[in-house]
Amino acid sequence: MSYHDPVLLKESIEYLAVKRDGIYVDATFGGGGHSKAILAQLGPKGRLLGFDQDEDASANLLDDPRFTFVAGNFRHLQRYLRLHGVEKIDGLLADLGVSSHQFDTAERGFSYRFESELDMRMDRGGGKTAADILNTYDANSLQQIFSEYGEVRNARTLAQRIAEVRGKKPFKTVGDLLALAEALAKGQKMRYLSQVFQALRMEVNEEAEVLEALLQGAQEALNPEGRLVVISYHSIEDRMVKNFLKTGNIQGEVQSDFYGNIYRPFEILTKKAEAPSQEELNRNPRARSAKMRAGIRLK
């Protein structure tokens, strides 16, 4: 099985408009599908840094002198760039979320299809697991996560049940959570479980926080005319990207100077978010929730 089938490959690379001698970042290297396409457009003096916080991605390293793998979280984009002697970049591509490899590897705990420890960390070097969250967050916080990140219909009941059950036996495995969630699913069981698991995964990996840090880092690091391309898979993330391209902050608050000139950090290339074609969806149903937005950094 392939590590990951890159989503919106042709379209995202077109928006990146790779300059032959430019310096580029693939913030989410994964199986390297997008990275290979960027390298194919770079000349001999170009450079590409590929980030991934999951050590499994290092099995896919590209043997190319123009490529550097950065084993770390893209939330620290600028720190890593400095470490690698890079001050400014000409483009950054981020293809958020988890890879098929992560999702399909039973022991990672990302999927309700397999019995395993409830882990869900992309970076297994530290941080809290999904089980830690279920066992330690208060019911209000759990409710908020399920409702905000998962749009879970009965988030309050689910959170309360979790708080009750863990008093008798702490959560440890996917099966522990399934036993409880399935009973509350009512009807569309798979959809419900996907929502519950997605919400937990986003909290475990602090996906909203790290995206904000990435967007801010990219804005600082991009040269004028540099390109930012983001593929997201969740409405919260898409809204953050949309707002950021427009205003330079994820809330979408318009800032203006003393004279009333509105601050516009990017020229927006995607008036509406772009989605995969029907042909791509037929080939790769996992692309179904993808939304892509792109912008050019203004001076």
Ligand X SMILES: C[S@@+](CC[C@H](N)C(=O)[O-])C[C@H]1O[C@@H](n2cnc3c(N)ncnc32)[C@H](O)[C@@H]1O
- Return residues touching ligand X (CB under 6 A): 4, 6, 28, 30-34, 51-54, 57, 73-75, 95, 97-99, 122, 210
Structure letter (DSSP) for residue 263:
P
Nearest-approach distance from CB 14 to ligand X, in angstroms: 15
Distance separating alpha carbons of residues 265 and 225, to the nearest angstrom: 11
Contact between residue 47 and residue 66 where contact means Cβ atoms under 8 Å apart = yes
- Closer to ligand X by CB, 33 or 46: give it: 33
| Angle formed at CA 34 by CA 33 and CA 40, multiple of 5 degrees | 95
- Closer to ligand X by CB, 75 or 293: give it: 75
- Closer to ligand X by CB, 54 or 238: give it: 54
Nearest-approach distance from CB 165 to ligand X, in angstroms: 30
> In the chain, what is the greatest distance between 2 CA atoms, to the nearest angstrom?
62
Q: Which candidate, 256, 263, 250, places its Cα nearest to that of 214?
A: 250
Nearest-approach distance from CB 248 to ligand X, in angstroms: 20
Contact between residue 201 and residue 208 where contact means Cβ atoms under 8 Å apart = no
Strands 291-297 and 222-232: antiparallel
Amino acid sitting at position 230: V
Hey, how many other C-beta atoms are within 10 angstroms of the C-beta on 115?
A: 13
- Closer to ligand X by CB, 133 or 214: give it: 214
Nearest-approach distance from CB 154 to ligand X, in angstroms: 29
Nearest-approach distance from CB 2 to ligand X, in angstroms: 9
Distance separating alpha carbons of residues 72 and 62, to the nearest angstrom: 17
- Closer to ligand X by CB, 30 or 265: give it: 30
- Closer to ligand X by CB, 14 or 253: give it: 14
Structure letter (DSSP) for residue 259:
T
Nearest-approach distance from CB 30 to ligand X, in angstroms: 3
Q: Which candidate, 101, 123, 148, 104, places its Cα nearest to that of 3?
A: 101
